[in-house]
Structure 1
């Protein structure tokens, strides 16, 4: 399955919508897209991601750390149950900002 990624600006936030499985084969697509984002406030909409492996998890953690170190913000929203479970099992729900909706993720 190909990974589809698109972005839109909502206020001061760049919302990156992802559709497809996020794994070792597709992570470079999202990584390249994130490299091209402007601004220091990014929300990744994972509502269209039914599966994520540890490669995707590592990418999310890397961007969280990157933006945090630069004084920005990185959030995720709309995780499907299987993807949310991966974050819970690795206890990253305690570290990263995960929201149920895009609206709550982009609220200051």
Structure 2
């Protein structure tokens, strides 16, 4: 399955809407999109992501570190499907990353 990524501005936030499977084959699509955005406040909407492997997990963790851990900005995830949320629970990243039930919650 292909991965589709589109961005939209919401105030001073960039919302990145991702649809498809986020795996080793498709992670460059999201990576390139994130690299090209000048925004330092990013919400990644994963409502349309039906599968994510550790490559996708690694990418979002890297962006969390780039923005949040360094104090350069903010990075949040929103609307994870149950199977994707399970990956974050199993790796105990639910305690590390900012994960929200919806984009509106993430922006609040």
| 1:65 match | 65
Q: Can you list the C-alpha shifts for 1:26-69, whole angstroms capped at 9, x where unaligned?
A: 00000000001122100000000010000000000000000121
SS at structure 2 position matched to 1:79 = coil
TM-score (norm 1): 0.97
CA RMSD of aligned residues (A): 0.7
TM-score (norm 2): 0.97
Which residues of structure 1 form unaligned runs of 5+?
none
Count of residue pairs the alignment pairs up: 107
User: In the TM superposition, what is the alpha-carbon distance from 1:79 to its structure 2 partner?
Assistant: 0.1
Hey, what's the Cα distance between the residues in 1 that align with 2:2 and 2:33? 14
Which contiguous aligned blocks of 4+ residues in structure 1 show a shift greater than 2 angstroms? none
